[in-house]
A and B are shown apart, each in its own frame.
Chain A
Amino acid sequence: MTKGNGSLCLTSLSKRYGAFTAVDNVTLQIEKGEFLTLLGPSGSGKTTLLMMIAGFQDISEGDILLGGVSIAQTPAEKRNFGMVFQGYALFPHMSVHDNIAYPLSVRRRPKAEIDARVAEMLDLVRMNGFAKRLPKELSGGQQQRVALARALCFAPPVLLLDEPLGALDKKLRVEVQAQLKEIHRRVGTTFVYVTHDQEEALSMSDRIVIMQNGRIEQVGTPADLYQNPKTAFAASFLGKSNFLHRDGAVFALRPEKIDLSPEGQGMGANKVSGVVLSVTYFGAVLKYQVEVFGMDPIEVDVDAWRSGQALPAGTRVDLTWSDSAAVRLSDQSV
């Protein structure tokens, strides 16, 4: 149902405010039909980058190509990108039906076509029966679905989403993530999704772009980024990491890739000994903090069910891990 070519190409894109650089020389290829997430802390430039793609921010340098054609000078309303805003930005004076119909009605489509299409979209986001309601009569999750239906109604080649789940509570968020992924699969539109939530990024994306200080830190599939972080920032922002200094290089080691055993019983390619500082029970996992001489405290996650009784603080333990568990980073210092 998507019209046009939804592949986006950002070339050396920058946004400067005076001396401050919000987006710094970003080059990125976004494939047609891809679910791409821009992930980063606040101030990393991810929202500014999205607003530049949407056409709400001028470009200081660089270009944006849609299907090979530059759209850098095209105004927002001519880009034909759907957008879901933080806080949804539904039109408060219009019913759900009129909100969803808006993109078609400004394009002067015939009424019969609009009504059929709105019904189809209500069906897609499972909001049948809510057409006559006003936005204020809906819950947050329902408003979010209406905003999604409105943005997809005119079959845009690209859908931009600016932290659309930020206002929802955690349980609902997990539910909506699954729905969003399902809708992405059904409509085949390119999704560009901005979030600071690593779990959202990991669970929904085809590829994740980790951003910091206006630059791209690393791009890859969720598994690739998690298993092979290239920088300390990538390793600590997506999941948790211990940082080890060996042979003048820095290695990232995930807490769940370390085996913990009582002193003298540890077997592995790499081994250090230490003392348990603290242990915290999280249901599925036990999180240990282990003091090792000459290092920062090391965090170790252990499967709570398989490991049995937790070892109390003060216990002497061995930490072991395989060679492939520790990932060498390109950073020289952390």
Chain B
Amino acid sequence: MRLPIKSGWLLVLPFLLLVGGLFLGPILNVLWISVTDPTPGLDNYAQLGSSDTLRRILWTTLRVCAICTAFSVILGYSIAYAMVHATGPAQSRMLGLLLISFWISVLVRTFSWLMLLGRNGVVNSTLDALGIISAPIPFMRNELGVLIGMVHYMVPYAVLPIFAAMQSIDGRVVQASRSLGGSGAQTFWRIYLPLTKPGVVAASLVVFIINLGFYVIPAVLGGGKVLMVAEYISVQVLITLQWGTAAMLAAILLFGVLALMFIMSRFMKLSTVFGGART
């Protein structure tokens, strides 16, 4: 008896069922709830126009994500630049440190920031003991705290695509600019930065997309004062039990991320075009 499909598919069938059943299923369920709970229709989406709270939360989310992306990418660019220009062993050590930070749980990192920068944290108590400040500096439980935590978490994600873009630059192109009379600044702005642009765009989108779904860091370091979409969804699901609103926000996040991924895929293709153009 011949099977209607190649037998190789049978090997991946359990995996396909797992993805389909446990991943796509719930997502479709969320989309379904967003247009049926509590009543069928687009009422949940209409809240976006009527509810100030929702609009404020979305605005906070976008603002925090944008600021965090900007800082992460600028810091990531400097780190990647240092890594590209480091010599063999030093470069491996830097890459190692970067990867280690990927392996440390976000919870550990978040609470470490609280211990460092909280009201009674190491920094405030030291400054207080030295008599430099009279009242603790409010680093945490506000937007600043959320930004510090998020930027710290996201910098490694920003470094890697930029590092890859910098590594693919032919050093002679930079020398050519200098030999033709370009100053250091002119060489950077007119040659180096444009050639690393695909890496910067990729890093910005990766960081922004991951930022959109952040839950732990805003919840802990924001102290309830910086309400972002992920935390608000959790509140709707667990406390106020407004699943329709929660599902609607989740759907908005999902489509926003998909739209950004689509843009990113265009730029990634562009980056290979850039890579192919090198002589």
Binding site for B on A (CB under 8 A): 54-56, 75-83, 85-93, 102-103, 106-107, 134-136, 143, 150-151, 154, 160
Contacts and interface: CB of A to CB of B under 8 A. Distances in A.
Given A93-B274, A136-B277, A143-B279, A76 B179 contact: yes
Interface in B171-185: 172-173, 175-183
Contact of A106 (B170, B181, B276, B277): B181
A76 B181 CA distance: 8
Interface in B159-213: 170, 172-173, 175-183, 186, 190-191, 194-195
B175 A91 contact: no
Which A-B residue pairs are the 9 nearest by beta carbons? A89-B172, A83-B179, A103-B180, A136-B277, A89-B176, A92-B277, A76-B178, A106-B182, A85-B172
Contact of A91 (B173, B183, B186): B173
Contacts of B274: 92-93
Nearest to B175: A56
B173 A76 contact: no
A158 to B, nearest CB: 11
B183 A77 contact: yes
Contact of B277 (A88, A135, A150): A135
B278 interface: yes
A77 B178 contact: yes
A135 B181 contact: no
B179 A77 contact: yes
A176 B191 CA distance: 28
A83 B170 CA distance: 16
Given A87-B170, A102-B180, A76 B276 contact: no
24 contacts: A56-B175, A75-B178, A77-B178, A77-B182, A79-B179, A80-B181, A83-B175, A85-B176, A89-B170, A89-B173, A90-B279, A91-B191, A93-B195, A93-B274, A93-B277, A103-B180, A103-B181, A103-B182, A106-B181, A134-B277, A135-B277, A136-B278, A136-B279, A143-B279
A102 B182 CA distance: 8
A126 to B, nearest CB: 20
Contacts of B182: 77, 102-103, 106
A77 B178 CA distance: 5
Given A82-B179, A85-B175, A103-B181, 10 more contacts: A75-B178, A85-B176, A87-B170, A92-B274, A102-B182, A106-B177, A106-B182, A106-B183, A135-B279, A151-B179
Nearest to B194: A93
Given A87-B172, A93-B194, A93-B195, A102 B177 contact: yes
A107 B181 contact: yes
A92 B180 contact: no
A151 B181 CA distance: 10
Contacts of B279: 87-90, 92, 135-136, 143
A99 B210 CA distance: 39
B181 A154 contact: yes
Contacts of B178: 55-56, 75-77
Nearest to B169: A92
A103 to B, nearest CB: 4
Nearest to A104: B181
A149 to B, nearest CB: 12
A136 B276 contact: yes
Contacts of A85: 172, 175-176
Nearest to A78: B181
A80 B181 CA distance: 6
Nearest to A56: B175
A106 B278 contact: no
